[in-house]
Structure formats: structure tokens, C-alpha cells
Amino acid sequence: MQYKVLVSSIALPPTTFGSWTNRIMSFQRRLNYFDYVLSPTTEPSERFIFTKKKELKLWEKASRRRAEKIYRGYLKELRNIAQAGHALQILVVDDRTLLEAVVSIKSNLPKGTQIYYSHHGHSLPSNNFVFDQVDKVFFLTESGYKQTLLTNYQFTPEVFIVGNGVVGEEFSPLSISEKKKQREKFGLGENDLVISWMANSRPVKGLHIFRKVVEKILRIHPEIKIISIGHDPIPTIDHENWLQVGKIPNEKLPEYLRLSDVYFFTSLWQEGFGLSLAEAIKCGNWAISSKLGGIPYLLEGVDNSILVERPNVVDDWIEAFEIFLKERNRGIKAPDKAKLDQLHSYSNWETRFLNALES
């Protein structure tokens, strides 16, 4: 017998909107896979156990055992679960400090205990002391794994490429008539060209670049409409053609993504995947995206996409947009719904993820 334990420094069930928390909770609800979930949950139960990281005092931050001090509560709960004497399968999600803490007590846990790590970034910096004791690492993309091999002198865990998956059948394109009706609700015309952008306000998401791109586009094409989602409202954006939606629940995203024609993904860092880009494409958008991290992997087989190799250069985005306009003027076929349904689908991700856990 083996107890399966999910360990997260982010609350589960989630209290904020996020891609992986939404996905992992769908997995747990469907399969009831994990016997215990350790996190700073707001809904504690026998299965969802409340624990949280500790804020260290100034003199504690330099400690050689810093990770163990931060996550002392987690280690206590793991020891409690281990008292039954059964081997543990522990999945740590995207927190290397938490992983280091869990690894520190592996030798004291029941024989046969295995530690897995789900990495949500691109390349993974490896501490040999930690990763030599990790049994499996799950990567979002093949390119992230290969970059990890180049970055580190050694990397010993077994590896699985699990990809990513969009949760929700609503992430799909509308028919021409449905799109017309939806646009009317937001004061958009049937023939309006609509650009969308979606991310939080962090500089690495490139909102400052996107604003400059839009300013130039609107000088050339003043009729174009803009929708931006997820960032804090910016008072200085007062153009009548720009709708700032703000932060909304995940289930409301398709309502806006389905209105647009082309999605700008102006990421300025090595993206692990870029799930919002997949969501926009599944809603029928063309994609104009930076060529960083796992993004080229995400766009493999996506015909209606343009990669920008120099994402910090505003004029390169303008050039990509003009390429899109030329293609659009030639006549764009309606999105292939069956193909988009399979693109980075939740069901395909679930199959790969479950295989990684069980192999």
C-alpha cells in the first residue's frame, strides 16, 4: 500500500485564479487520486490538510537549514502521515525550496517512499544534493527538459514530458453567427478587427511593450478594437477603442477571447508553456507571440501563428501584425474546431500526467 500526497505552497482548492491550480483540482475531483493534499487551504478536511510556510526572522534566513525552517509545518504533517508505516508517493508542485525541505527528511520516511517534482517553468536549475534524491521530474515541454540538461552539469531524476492542458469546453471558437451576437453585446461590429491581450501586470508579461505596439497600430489603423484582460486597470489608457476587462474568473475568459481575431502574447521571459496563449488559440484566435522558452513547442502544428524573435523591439511586433493583416486579407478559413479541441486538451494532459505518476 502507498499513500499519495500532493504538496503545494499555494492553497488548494484555489482561492485565486491560476492555470495549474485549476488543472490539478480538476484532476483530483475527477480521479480522487491524492490521499492527502498539504497546502495553506481555506477548506481544511481529512484529505485537504492545512499547513503553511513560516516567515523567518532575519537571523534565520542565513541558516543552512533554511528550507526546513520555512516548511517545518509541512514536514510535521508528512511525518504524521508516515506514522502508518506505508510508503509515500509525494508530489511537490513548482516550489524548489519546498522540494528541498521534503528531500531533507526522505531518509526518515518509510522504505519505498518516492518524491516527484512538477516543474512549471522552462529550464530547471538543479541542486545536486536535492535532485539526486528526487525520483521523477515532470516538465511542460521537451525544450524545457533539454535546456535543463544544457544548464546543469548533471541531472539524475527520471523525466516525463507531461505538457499542459486547457480546462473547460468553453475554450472553443464560435460560429460566425454566434460571434456576431456576442460582439453586439459588447458594442463591437461584425467586421471589426479585434486584438486581445491577457496576463497580469508583471513587467515580464510585456504590457508596457504591448501598449506601445497598440499606440502605433492605432495610428495606422484607428478603427481597430483592443481587449486586455487580467492586469490592474491603467487610468492613462483612455482610448475609446480599448476595453480593459481586469481580473476575472477563469470560466469567464472564453467570453472575451472568443470576441477577438488575433491574440498578442508579449512575454519577455523564458515561458514554461504559456497556457493563456493556448486558451486564446482554442477560442479561434491567430497568435502573435514572442519566441521564448516553451512557446515554440506550444505552437507546433498551429498554422495561424507568428513568432517574434526580438520581443523587446516594438517595430518587430508591428511587422508581425502587418504579416497577419496580409494573410487575413487573402481570406482566412474558419478554425478547425475538431483540431482545436485536441490542441493542448485537458484530457490529453490528464493521460500523460497520470502515466507519469503511475509508471
**Domains in the chain, start-ordered, CATH in brackets?**
2-165+345-358 (3.40.50.2000), 176-342 (3.40.50.2000)
Q: How far apart are CA 292 and CA 279, in angstroms?
A: 18
Query: pLDDT 10s digit of each residue in the chain, 359 long?
Result: 899 999 999 999 987 666 789 899 999 999 999 999 999 999 999 999 999 887 765 545 555 677 788 889 999 999 999 999 999 999 999 999 999 999 999 999 999 999 999 999 999 988 888 999 999 999 999 999 999 999 999 999 999 999 999 998 899 999 889 999 999 999 999 899 999 999 998 999 999 999 999 999 999 999 999 999 999 989 999 889 999 999 888 888 999 999 999 999 999 999 999 999 999 999 999 999 999 999 999 999 898 999 999 999 999 999 999 999 998 877 666 667 788 888 999 999 999 999 999 99
Collapsing DSSP to helix, strand or coil, 240 comes out as coil
Give the three cell numbers for residue 59.
537571523
pLDDT reported for residue 330: 74
| Distance of alpha carbon 310 from alpha carbon 93, whole angstroms | 31
List, in order, residues 6 or more apart from 5 with CB less than 8 Å away. 34, 35, 36, 37, 38, 78, 81, 88, 89, 90, 91
CB 331 within 8 A of CB 309: no
Distance CA 260, CA 225 (A): 9
Is the entire prediction scored with pTM above 0.85?
A: yes
